[in-house]
Structure 1
Amino acid sequence: MNKLVIFSGTSSTKKEIVDQISTLLGDNLEISAYATDDDILYPISNSLVLVTSPLILDSVKPLIRENCKIIVARRTLNLSNLDKILYINPNENVLLVNDTYDTAIESIELLKNFGFDFINYTPYYPNSHIDTSNFKYAITPGEPHLVPHNIENVIDIGPRIIDITTIVEILSNLSMLNKKSHNISARYINKIISLSRELYTKNKNIKELNELLTRLINHIDDAIICFDGNLDMKFINNSARKLMQTEDYDDNLYKIKSFISNQKLIESILYLNGCEYIAIKELSYEPELSICILKNARERINIENKLRKEIKNRGYVAKYSFENIIHKSPVMKDLINISKKLSQSDFSILITGESGTGKELFASSIHNYSKRKNAPFLAINFASLPEEIIESELFGYEEGAFTGAKKGGKIGLFEIANGGTIFLDEIGDITPKIQLRLLRVLQEKEILKVGGSMPIPIDVRIIAATNKDLFTLVREGKFREDLYYRLKKLYIKLPPLRDRRDDILHLFNYFLDKKSEYPLEVSKEVKDILLSYNWPGNVRELENTVEYILAIIEDDVIKPHHLPEDLISTKRHCSLDDVEVFILKTIKDFNANRKIIGRKTLSELSFECGLNLSEQQIRSKLNILQQNGYIETSRGKVGIRLTSKANSII
């Protein structure tokens, strides 16, 4: 069997050439191949030797005996990998990276001969000391490890293979030319045909894509005109063509070119054909192009008004603004000023406060004061919905996601609110599963529908609210810590009404004027009761109080007997002794920390503060407090709890 020994510079070149010759000559040849860094144990004799370059021949010649025939290969490029070069822009400066100056120059000449002469090549090789900072592309024939690290785009066209003349010379020396020449010619022709077919398919696909893009751009209502670096028009869509086909063509074109050439302007208002157009400039540097997009200002305003009306009709609007927050106290004035500043950011906001303090009022006002004010505002209350409904409402679902799913699926609230704000009320009540899904929204800015597999990017500002102590829930493992801090990037704590007593009468009179059909006078006794009451239900309870009064009053003066029983009984029973106040305050502290308290603990704590009460004395006081409606007692894990009556005065 004939023997062929191959010497190459690198292992990758060795593999490429062995594969090439094996494919052509099949099993009729015994091939041994070595790279320059391989160990060769014995001298080469009685073989045909193929070396990949004169430089390789110089290094291996001592290993080859005189009875060997030596062929120095003529190399060419692997046609299979050259199509990537077509995506480089004409006149781009490109590094050609190879192991030596001579091989780099040889590769450059081959590329030019193959028709890739539309770019500027610079040879690069180890220790060439070339400044590569201005190069974006590098082409290399199988030497990607030699490419400088700062090059963004590396095109490896694969190691150079041996050309047809070298193949013929090998066959001649092996006395196989007559037998194999027809087969080799057919293989090369098939390769060329295959590459031509592949190139034709790619060009066809590109042409079809360009035609599709042109059709899409021509269906856009906005006028689009593209200019090159010399301000020559390169593309114009149908809307722009219609705009320009008037008697004012020259004047319109002059205005558009003036806008394009003004480097300080990105957007401007142009008067074309007697109408206002919003002109927007988009720049491209590879190749150098300027794109002018013209939007009819009047049509744009009409569309925005229509969308705004549609959003309002669907109820996706924020109903309140900061002007609707009735207040007199300095604490509320400061809180509103802070909220206005926070509204200008897109970070999520956590609003905390007792029930009835106006969390949704603030959320709505923040949205209306932000740059998202013309976009949707949606609210969802987690306390009123089960987990399954919350998930499908927030994220939507795909068709067939579950039994009963609508045909075509459903869009979730996050998608509807895209570009706007979503208000998540009672965030402390959500389950761990929904917590995890919300965390993904905050981290990735995308959602996944129920039953879906494709993430949907969204742009939504999240405002969350709760009347619970989320930090305590985090410590108890009931609320995710990472979600807590994601939600609390910005933070507002709303004070209860009892901590801003300046607002009590101010709000009372506001609701009275708003809801009463005729003027009413408020007696001093009623004012005193209103100011002394602790308002556990906050502003909501105050508004309910006004509605109760208006429902029963028949006089022109509001007197104590017109007030709800809660307010009257609080005034009647507010004369608690020190022991009763101690007991109620201690129970309240334990209730707030979700701890159980009994007679024994109350007795022990009384000694710490000097009251020195026995368990029997505690029992007696607890009975009195229960009879007067201040506490509720039960066995088991609940223990002693304060009633709303006690909470209103403690």
Structure 2
Amino acid sequence: MCFIGQCHSGTALDVCTDNFFLQPLCLIGIIDVMRHYVKAFFLFFSFLFCIFAFRLFIFVKNGIIILIFNPLPLFSRKRGSFMNRTQKLGNVLIISSRKRMLSEFQSYLHSVLGEYLTFNTLLREQATDPSLFRGYQCVLFPTARALETFPLTIDSSILQLACDRVFNHMFLDKIIQIPPHERVYLVNDDKSSTLDIISQLEECGITQYDFVPFYPGCKDTESDIQFAITAGEPQLVPSRIPNVLDIGNRIIDISTILQLCEYFNIPLQTVNRVSRNYVNQILHTVKTSETYYTNYVQTEQLMQVILFSLPVGVCLFGADGRIQFMNAKFAHAFSLPSSNFEGQPFSECLPPAYADTAFDRNGDWTILLSDQKTQITLSVLSMVFPDTEPVFLAFLPGGRSTEAPAAEEEKTEESTFFASSRTFSLSLSHADSVQNLMTQVRHLALFDFPILIQGESGTQRRTLARAIHNFSRRHHYPFSVLHSPGNNLTEASLLRLLAETNHGTLVLSQVDRFPLAIQDLLVNVLTNVYGNFFSAPETHRFDVRIIAIADDNLYKKVEKGTFLRELFHLLSASELQTVPIRRRREDIPDLLNYFLLQFFHNSDMTCDRIFSEGLLRFLKEYAYPGNIHELYNLSCSLFTRYNSHKLQLSDLPTYLRSRQMADVSLTDLQYQVLSFVSMHPKAGRLAIKNGLADGETFVSEAALRTVLGELSSAGYLIVHRTKGGCEISELGRMVLEK
């Protein structure tokens, strides 16, 4: 509606309350204000109403008043409601070919938006006449395909909406009660929706399962699967599956709810309430999930400690014959190089004569070991649990001792370099420098020359010596180590050691630290008794391979006079130089994963999964002065701190945190900025500047930009581009906690 009257002013008055326009409607009337007082009186009150209820423009030109305005809806998101609460804003028709889906959609939408909208349902086969859509402002379809293939033409004035659908988050707490790492069928009525549900579950953080899609046309070939999740299609689940969780039809996603709210101008407070409830529901489920998973991890770790601490050898394998767990006692009893046989056939761990034996029943077996002399008793116990296939526990009740090896068969440096001491094929390194070292080791193992292994502490020098021995013709004979003898070492004791090691390998560990008196004794004994390189081997009293281990550059000590030149030349016929961790950083993730596998006995527990980005970056960049020893000990420390949540920089041992913080020095302004960002995540420069000003710290835009750059370069802040603001890093939190 619009009014026009005379005015003797040449001005234009704009009383529009804001710039939000709906469909303009103009009606022009001319009123002679001076001659028609009654109409003027009516105009006055109409004018007030228009200002209140409409967006009104008043133009005055040539004595004529022109009023142009837009009618507002009786309910505006910005103005509040002047409508009776019982009056609905619109009618929505839901169309589907399935009654259950119609009922669930109607019930869910009514619970969310029933205060403002009326929801009715119609089976697809009953939709035979376009007149059925009269009185509706919106028609909802369950999928885009249902909308595209709908046979009737719907008037263009009616909103046609294909729902975005998501699984019902109310069932998340039931899903996460399935044991982690299980293979699970995800069952639905077509491939696309099945894959969508798997993707949605993974987006919600449900990544601890191996989901296998199953829909009409798929064959049940995964005989090991004992769990299935279905979205309202339990009849499609293979009948043999004992554990079926029906999470109901997928519900309408929040995005579709928000589309309806926008289209019908539903109040913002309702939209906010719906969004808040949706988020709170997910947060509640996440907390529940963390509790379940934490309990699971703690129980699993406790069980592993118990099984590893048992005084008998234990091995657990499934109905398929593949090993699920083996402790070190069991591995040692069968002379296996490692207890990490998860997923390997149980029969492969036994002597070849038992390769075809089925250990699938309760009983005792007498096993003749590969030496054809030793017999041990192997007991197998079948354990059956509800709704699962049986598992078998193999253990050693008696027979061969499972004590640790004798002293001369001491373990190598945590057995970290090779998964097997008899082979080089399982080396954990991909670095060229280490591969070149391996080539040298393979070559030297074929000969009997004395070898000098030099390198930093913790670089597996003794492991290399052991590997050379095991790969040589001497591997059936003793491997002895003489480590840092005192001045009381006598010629008789040295000769006795050579006699005990005859035909084997003698390692002189830390030979660079031997006292000069002992060095002189070694020269005399090795020259006069062991022989020299110009004498025939048959004249030697002892046939012993000598491997010496020293720190970097032993020849420098020769030049300083702290190591005998004659002994140096006697020991260094061949040389090997080990590689420190800092020169093979590409191996760090693999080494970490190898150690974590030793501790967790679970190949899924990798460094990417249990370490935060900041912690993993630190572990990759750290120098490791203790090399493999330090990396191994650090992995042990982090393992003991793991409790289902990703480990952070603050979980590092005290000596590393102290070392990292030792050189940290912040100015007062840097500290204030870091503290402010810590309390106000995603704050931008303006917010930081104003926040500092509130605390009586005034800083220019340029100075603040410089400080943010310095903190970012030091790794204390993460500065996002565009409108992302700033947030504190893990390292920044450690600085504040210092």
Same fold, judged at TM 0.5 (above): no
| Normalised TM-score (structure 1) | 0.36
| Normalised TM-score (structure 2) | 0.33
More helix by share: 1
Query: Which has more radius of gyration?
Result: 1
